Structure 1
Amino acid sequence: MPGYRGRFAPTPSGPLHFGSLIAALASFLDARHVGGCWLVRIEDTDPPRCPPGADTQILRQLEAFGLYWDEEVRYQSTRHAAYQNALDRLAAQSLAYPCSCSRKQWREHAVYPGWCRDGIRQPDQPVAWRLRSDLGLRPVTWQDRLFDEQTFDPAQLGDVVLKRKDDLWAYQLAVVIDDADQGISDVVRGHDLLDNTPWQRQLQVALGLPEPRYLHLPLIVADNGQKLSKQNLAPALPTRDDAVRTLLHQALIALDQAPSAELASAPVADQLAAATAAWDVSRLRPEVFKAQPPT
């Protein structure tokens, strides 16, 4: 597929775990199978959550699994001017507005009720910037490559934050701006981000940006049913070669790619070469959750 550009964009709040590997590996194989580019972007917009050295650890883990990127790693912490420019454009269209409300104030509502849409309720308080979800593209419909047609009304999801009260950039705006700037054609990520897509589509339309294709993957859960995450203390990916070989094979099984048993202990490069040639999205099962393989 000429022009295919994919990416893996972790938050450096800790080391990668098996769930991270699934997302990274799927996006890598999806790109490499069609001769496309694969990029790595470090989403470090929240410094308090990003311990020193976590980004380097993540990159070393990716290298241990043979997941090498094609261009210079991008750090979102260097992108303030681009995000501010986009926010200014949204504000000029009345699609973004300052909001002084705290979560505690609207805790009895399922989503933020839009109290500051027509003016800041508490002008003496710090403000966040929110997206006017009721004025943008509605409804939002797209064809997910695994979960088929998806339709959402973003207004029912609420006015998402674009810039926080502490002046840090929120995920929704940053990811849209960087995907467009880096020419990302295909977004491969976990199902937990599927309902973020409606806001991102609204932003893409409002800013005149292209729409990538989306492939949302089943989430990997632990024995207790919790999604694997850094917050849930999921074990870090190993970098020792024998452990990497075994876990890579297990990840390919979790992605329904049916790797041969003979490859279970094969070198990483051999496993990836076979998996790249055989990558088939139609093998994926549209499940929301999958159990983590035994260790």
Structure 2
Amino acid sequence: MTKAVRYDEFGGIDVLRIEEVERPVPAAEQVLVHVKAAGINLGEAAIRTGAMAEIFPSAFPSGQGSDLAGVVAEVGAGADRFSVGDEVIGFSEKRSAQAELVLVEVDNLTPKPENVSWEVAGGLYVAGVTAWGAVHSVQLEQGESVVISGAAGGVGSLAVQLARRAGATVIGLASEGNHEWLRSHGVIPVAYGAGVRDRLEAAAPGGIHAFIDTYGDGYVELALALGVAIARIDTIADFAAAAKYGVKTEPGTEARPGAEVLAELAALIADGHLEVPIANVYPLTQVRQACTELERRHTHGKIVLRP
């Protein structure tokens, strides 16, 4: 038997539990991974409450989580590009990553560089691929200005770095407690709240060319008010506004396979060109506490579970 996060009905954090389940057995093209770290993400809360049931229908009992990193425990037929004992980064498409042992399709795995920590690797997939997609979606060019809301969060903290690597002048909307971190990464910090439009215009006297919204709460409308073209606005948080105004929702037209993007991001981390801030690490058994902290929406970086 092995432990996994489960819930039997839509609801709040209180529906989550840790359950003993049968040890999974890999089918063809699958790998069984002994999980060392698994990220948690805000989208999982929306799925768990039923808010996204039409897009992501659920069957109960349901697991939770996509992000994971760990050690290969068993290899199914046709998955022999990996061997038992290999360290890997990957993702589950079955909402099952928050567990001790997880079945993963072989194409959803990439080797973990030795100098990338388990916590960073385990929390990389959703935030990393989302940030990569959003930055590519707005098609930044050298010298352009881009605003990123939620700039110190799990997705935003990666998006600001990737946008800087694209040659853009990056303006990050974040609470003042995160401004020093943003400055240290070459980002112009701007506080959110009353007067934010004036502060953004002052920070970008040459105009704002693109806007990446990782937070929601009216930022699509703000981007439009700032004169940003619809095709250069991407939101990962306000799908009602995206439908209303026709702005993008990452990853746009430049999507690549998730494992391929994971490998690219992991290499940047290994070479010291990309930082993944870790806000907190919880044992798997404290998944409720981890989700409570995440859903307050004031974390700097990723929250990760350790089975």
Interval containing the TM-score (normalised by the shorter chain): under 0.3
TM-score by length of 2: 0.25
The higher relative CO (CA closer than 8 Å, separation ≥ 6) is in 1
Choose between structure 1 and 2: higher strand proportion.
2
TM-score by length of 1: 0.26
